[in-house]
Amino acid sequence: MKNQKIKAVPLLDLQSQLTPLRAEIMTAVKDVIDSTQYIMGPKVEELENSIAEYSGVSHAVGVSSGTDALLLALMALDIGPGDLVITSNFSFFATAGVVARLNATPVFVDIDPVSFNLSPKALGNLLSNMKEKERKKVKAVIPVHLYGQCAEMSSILSITRQFGIPVIEDAAQAIGAEYLIENEVKRAGSLGSIGCFSFFPSKNLGGIGDGGMIVTSDDEIAKILKLKRVHGESTQYHHEVIGGNFRMDPIQAAVLTVKLQYLNKWHQERQKNAEYYSILFQQENIADLILPQSIYSKQGLSNYHIFNQYVIRTERRNELQTHLAKHQIAARIYYPIPFHLQPCFQSLGYQKGDFPESEKAAQTVLALPVYPELTDAMQEYVVEKIVEFFRK
Ligand SMILES: *Cc1c(COP(=O)(O)O)cnc(C)c1O
């Protein structure tokens, strides 16, 4: 039998990422400790400059988490009670949670079943069918670049421009993901008015704790973001507007600056792993198994999908997950409940059946290990166990 040596496959292996970088990271952390500059400072600025350049924008603002990046982005647009914010119905909770925290109302749109991203068609229908008075309340649209592949931004932006609505990209899973627009290759976060990144340890660029970043090429928005990041303080103890403490920790910035050097290499390795899975699965031709589609792979982009997650679909998802767990293979469900069925959003008045594609995705998706350090043998083992499940 093949692959007898593989005993377990974790969903993510941060130890294997750390080992080759350990000395470099330790030095970076030590430098921050020895500098006694523990709030903001040159390390945060250095990372902000690097991420701005990496993403192709004029400004980057380091913040405390991806969730806070989204929250502060909405605060920069002055979103509050009475306002509507449209977003994808199928994402991590923070995408919708931040809207509700500001006492604005999240309005959900179904996803495209192939990309799992906000459906431009559903967005267009929603906005066109809204009464003028209602539509004027829509203050932002938040598309999510789920699993590391950009939403269909050309179509989304042509709709939002028509109605003059700003776009905040939830690029928490997609830093560096590329998108071809008007013959130009752009990166996630640089397509809308504001882009938000997360450095949660499981993201492609992960810190040693929480962290996030907001990017924009709008000077005015950048100014407000920086002001609201520190309690709206213009000069010491003078508060022009109400903000919060959304500052990035310089230890996180120092670690992330080290890791950023390797990010494109990791993206390429994830992409390569995804392609290998697809080759292995295609040889097996399993009827009830849908593989993830890289919808921009033929456009000459190098980061056409950064595969924060490699997500397969099957009607027998729960059984398959149990089967894999029995063989020490970690596979996770991102996400089991779409927003409109979350208990905390019941007051919004949505019903089961309102968003069929999100509901179907929630019942069928399963993320397989795809992290950069995953070996061919581990992937072969994963595929072997999945094939075994479907054939028995
Ligand atoms: C991770 C994530 C967030 C939140 O980021 P945190 O850093 O964990 O606060 C928001 N949206 C999406 C889509 C995410 O994957």
Residue with CA closest to ligand 1 atom 5: 66
Residue ranges in the chain whose pLDDT is less than 50: 1, 3
- Report the C-alpha gap between 203 and 266 in whole angstroms: 11
Out of 200, 204, 256, 339, mutate this one to test ligand 1's pocket (max ligand atoms within 8 Å of CB): namely 200
Given the CA of residue 210, which atom of ligand 1 is nearest to it?
7
Residue 103: how many other CB atoms lie within 10 Å: 11
Out of 95, 99, 168, 202, mutate this one to test ligand 1's pocket (max ligand atoms within 8 Å of CB): namely 95
Q: CA distances (Å), 336 to each of 66, 73, 315, 318, 380, in order? A: 21, 27, 13, 11, 27
What three-state secondary structure class fits 170? strand
What is the model's pLDDT at position 134?
97
Ligand 1, CB cutoff 6 Å, lining residues: 65-67, 91-92, 94-95, 144, 170, 172-173, 198, 200, 210, 212
Is it true that 21-260 and 263-391 share their CATH fold?
Answer: no
What is the model's pLDDT at position 392?
81
Which CATH architecture fits 21-260?
3-Layer(aba) Sandwich (3.40)
What is the model's pLDDT at position 2?
53
Residue 159 CA to its chain's centroid (Å): 22
| Extents of the domains making up the chain | 21-260, 263-391
Secondary structure (DSSP) of 228-261: HHBTTBSSTT-BSS---B-BPPHHHHHHHHHHHT
Closest-CA residue to 303 (of 145, 112, 144, 87):
145
Tally the residues of the chain.
Answer: 392
Out of 12, 67, 117, mutate this one to test ligand 1's pocket (max ligand atoms within 8 Å of CB): namely 67
Q: Is the pTM of this model over 0.85?
A: yes
User: Which CATH code for domain 263-391?
Assistant: 3.90.1150.10
Are the C-beta atoms of 55 and 188 separated by less than 8 Å?
A: yes
- Report the C-alpha gap between 256 and 373 in whole angstroms: 18
What is the model's pLDDT at position 156?
98
What three-state secondary structure class fits 72? helix
